[in-house]
Every structure is written in C-alpha cells, then in structure tokens.
Amino acid sequence: MVKSEEVYVTEEGLAKIKEELDYLKQEKRPEVIEALKEARALGDLSENAEYDAARNEQAELENRIVSLEKILESAVVIEEADTDVVSIGNQVEIEYIEDNEKETYTIVGSKEADPFANKISNESPIAVAILGKKIGDVATVQSPNGQYDIKVLNIA
C-alpha cells in the first residue's frame, strides 16, 4: 500500500478531527442505521423516498468517516514553529506593499485552512511565497489574478 500524502495539522486540528470521527462513529452512525431500519419497515423499497434518503445519508456518513480516518493515518502534527523563519504553524504579519495594508495569518495544513479565521493553507499562494522567509524579507506572490509583493513584518 502506498502511504498517502502527508497532511499537516496542529494539535488543535488533530483533536477536532478525532472528535468529529468519534461523534460520527458513536452517535451519527447508529442514528442513520436506525433511520434505515425504520424506512425499510415502511414496505416497498423501490418507491420508498425515506429509504433512499437514509441510504444516501449513510453513504455520505461512511465516506466522511473514511476521509477522516485517512487524514489521521497521514497526519503530521505541526510542532511548535521556529520564529526565525516562516514555517507551518507560525502566525505571520505581512504587509501588502502596493496598498500598505497589513494582515496577520496563521499558516496551517490544507485540512485546517479557514480563510475566515485567517488560517491559510501551507499550499496557498501567500504561504508558498513566504515559507522560509525572515522578518523584513519581501516575497512575490504568484496568484491566479497576477503577482504582487508582500513584506514579512513579524513571525510568532
């Protein structure tokens, strides 16, 4: 068996994945099985919308469980990041050179990325540009909308 690609996660992210997996296996799966039993008891399965819906829900649930298990198998927990250079796990303050706007991002693995919480994937254009950079370094970001420069102001 080929080992899947490494998935970078923080301790917090790993705990959330384990919590969701436990919930799905211990609580949600029994609920879906019960819904299937009830729908099956309604009779003719060929025209039973409740049964079809329960089967679809079961398939989605099982796919999510498999997905979470694969993430756990290939999870690499991000250790406390060095603050000398930008790396996964760091919180980084940057300045968009062209418009003098500042923003702070935390660089996380792709499975934990949450742009609304300023958590960007290590595979995102900004992270790719600044990984390995030091405070004061300027990096060029290659984005789908063109390129732009950013400066690393702080690494925590």
Q: Flag whether 55 is in a domain.
A: yes
Shared-domain flag, residues 49 and 100: no
- Domain endpoint, select from 54, 77, 100: 77
Q: Flag whether 30 is in a domain.
A: yes
pLDDT tens-digit series, residues 28-42 = 999 999 988 888 887
Q: pTM for the complete prediction? A: 0.70
Three-state DSSP class for residue 75: strand
Q: Flag whether 1 is in a domain.
A: no
**If pLDDT is split at 50, 70 and 90, which confidence band does 48 have?**
confident
Domain span including residue 146: 91-155
CA gap 141, 150 in Å, rounded: 7
CA gap 86, 111 in Å, rounded: 19
| CATH code for the domain of 54 | 1.10.287.180
Kindly give the pairing relationship between strand 75-77 and strand 7-9.
parallel
* Mean pLDDT for the chain overall: 90
Three-state DSSP class for residue 139: strand
Q: Flag whether 13 is in a domain.
A: yes
Tell me 28's DSSP state.
I
Q: Flag whether 35 is in a domain.
A: yes
- Domain endpoint, select from 52, 77, 102: 77
Q: How many domains are there within the chain?
A: 2
pLDDT of residue 10: 84
- Percent of the chain topping pLDDT 70: 96
CA gap 38, 25 in Å, rounded: 20
Please report where in the chains the tokens 């992270």 appear, as a residue. Answer: 127
Q: Flag whether 96 is in a domain.
A: yes
